[in-house]
A and B are shown apart, each in its own frame.
Chain A
Amino acid sequence: MNLDKIAKSVRKRIFEFKTRSRAGHLASCLSCVDVLVSLYYDEGTVFNHEEDVFIFSKGHGSPTVYPILVDLGYIDKSELDKYCTPEGMLKLHADHTIPGCHFVGGSLGNGIGYAAGLAHGSKKDVYVMLGDAELYEGSVWETLIFTAHHNINNLNIIVDRNWMGILGKTEDLLKLEPLEEKFKSFGFETCTVDGHNFEELREVFSKKCDKPRVIIADTVKGKGVSYMEDVWQYHTIIPKEEELLKKAMEELS
């Protein structure tokens, strides 16, 4: 299975429905594509989309999963064309009314606690993705204390560490580092991986853990579209000019 090719295809489709609808958070979605592709497509990982649960605590990144849900047959391909239109079911923030999605999105710092409860109550393996700037929410740290204490080891916390908030670099705005040490000190099995390297992602997602764990996926915001990569203004800007659209499509094809 050519994961690079799949990731490109996912990015391309995200770029298409985001630029067509002009409905938000394109760069935030692009940063976490490879993590999702690793989980949903790489047979070397233990994630099973039919049995396990993936939750976006980072709700604004949730449209990343839409092309994947099309590929896996949860939703019809035509839904991507109807993204954020009255005729369509796919929204800017995924919610539990969409097949293959499990929780409402849009309020940061809450999906992680919900995921912890679901993991504990259902005994299923639950994967929850947080944005790094979401870590500023105090509720996240409430849940971390709770999860570590109760050893909810079927909860896998993934941080999409793209180093950016809306206003710029996290380390310039409000320091988060040393992040790995913070999670470790809370009692988590913690590792940092290149969030765009399928070998590294497979290594970490190929095993379960007897402790609750945090996987920091080091990523690039806007990944895959060269002029968007690591440019904080693209949190809100969606490329519009013909030239930019063409360039992006070339890079993603």
Chain B
Amino acid sequence: MTSQRDTFISNLFERAKLDKDICLISVDMGAPSLDIWREELPEQFFAAGISEQNAINFAAGLSASGKKVYVYFMACWVARCFEQIRYSCAMAGNPITVLGNSVGLGYTPAGPAHNPTEDIAYMRSLCGIEIYSPANNAVVKELVNLTCEEPKLRYIRFERSFPQELESFYLNSAVDSDFLNKGSHILTYDAGSGGEMSVCIFSSGYMLGRALQVAKRLESQGIDACVVDFFRVKPATLSNPRDYDHDLIVTLEEQTLPAGFGSSICEAFVDAGVKRNILRIGLPEKYIFENGSREHLLNTNGLSVETIYEKIINKL
């Protein structure tokens, strides 16, 4: 399966061939999809070297000159140029697209420096930024259209790997600009089995795979469960908050909890004046130095399907 990064870059490349204003800056990051771009559109490609701060400042200046600018690097380094994104882009009004590859524990076993586990929290604090965390290549492709056609400061969080089964949940949906505008997508409705309890799990990206497994487990115990993909993390909009009338709303993220995705959902309910029972589930507030695969580290850090299930049951 093509990675999200390569899906995005190769689709952007097709548009860049027709639109000379599209520029891509790589902060010393490669990708199979980038090789052809470098060869065929050298005027629209910049190798910035390992220099996130300059890459963002330069991108802001290019943007001010009318270019559509994409900066591509490892997602963990958005912290390294947070000031430049804030100052030269958000504050100065220069709408670039930041492409962050591999979020959460995606670069395991590279250790916590490579694994951004708080990036939703700090990036969503920036005024006016939009943040996307896609779980599906159809959404990734549509994000190419959105970023080309409606310039805005955006941060797109690519999963390095993502559960293949998620692709099938979008097969019957037209993923277009209207779809993206909604910001979220219901992946599975609860079975309506008439269970005494009902749960709705909000998640995005890689964790949706776990959310679906947890929902299945809940259903097997007679608890109605549905899963919602919040592919747009900011603004996290609830089109009709009262529709989520479940006994428990669960937010599930591969991030530490302070100010993260779960917090933004709580804010959305509070701001809508809708009281709900909400359980936030995420990584423990620590940097994870253990070795092991992403699956393993999720399991040993409170995010195994069984642990998530138990947390939900306890809360119910």
Chain A contacts to B: CB under 8 angstroms: 95-96, 102-104, 106-107, 109-122, 138-139, 142-143, 145-146, 150
Which listed residue, A95, A113, A139, touches B61 by the CB 8 Å rule? A113
Contact present for A146 and B92 (CB under 8 Å): no
Task: Tell me the total A-B contact number using a CB cutoff of 8 A.
Answer: 92
Smallest CB gap from A112: residue in B: B57
Chain B residues with CB under 8 Å of A145's CB are 49, 51, 54
Smallest CB gap from A106: residue in B: B87
Contact present for A104 and B87 (CB under 8 Å): yes
Contact present for A113 and B87 (CB under 8 Å): no
Smallest CB gap from B64: residue in A: A118
Chain B residues with CB under 8 Å of A106's CB are 87
Complex alpha-carbon distance, A143 and B57, angstroms: 9
Smallest CB gap from B58: residue in A: A117
Chain A residues with CB under 8 Å of B56's CB are 113
Which listed residue, B62, B83, B87, touches A118 by the CB 8 Å rule? B62
Most A Cβ at <10 Å: residue of B61, B64, B84: B61
Complex alpha-carbon distance, A96 and B49, angstroms: 29
Beyond known contacts A96-B92, A122-B64, A145-B49: 12 more, CB 8 A cutoff: A102-B64, A110-B88, A112-B57, A113-B56, A113-B57, A114-B58, A116-B57, A117-B65, A118-B64, A121-B65, A121-B66, A142-B53
Chain B residues with CB under 8 Å of A110's CB are 53, 57, 83-84, 87-88
Q: Taking the nearest CB of chain B, how far is it from the CB of A152, in angstroms?
A: 9
Contact present for B92 and A103 (CB under 8 Å): yes
Complex alpha-carbon distance, A139 and B85, angstroms: 13
Q: How large, as a class, is the contact surface on chain B?
A: 20 to 34
Complex alpha-carbon distance, A120 and B59, angstroms: 10
Chain B contacts to A: CB under 8 angstroms: 46, 48-49, 51, 53-54, 56-67, 83-84, 87-88, 91-93
Contact present for A116 and B88 (CB under 8 Å): no
Which listed residue, B63, B64, B83, touches A107 by the CB 8 Å rule? B83
Complex alpha-carbon distance, A24 and B170, angstroms: 57
Which listed residue, A95, A114, A146, touches B60 by the CB 8 Å rule? A114
Given A121-B61, A121-B64: A109 touches B53 (CB 8 Å cut-off): yes
Complex alpha-carbon distance, A116 and B66, angstroms: 14
Complex alpha-carbon distance, A213 and B59, angstroms: 21
Contact present for B57 and A117 (CB under 8 Å): yes
Contact present for A113 and B54 (CB under 8 Å): yes
Contact present for B61 and A119 (CB under 8 Å): yes
Contact present for B63 and A117 (CB under 8 Å): yes
Smallest CB gap from A116: residue in B: B58
Complex alpha-carbon distance, A111 and B57, angstroms: 7
Contact present for A104 and B59 (CB under 8 Å): no
Which listed residue, B46, B54, B92, touches A139 by the CB 8 Å rule? B54
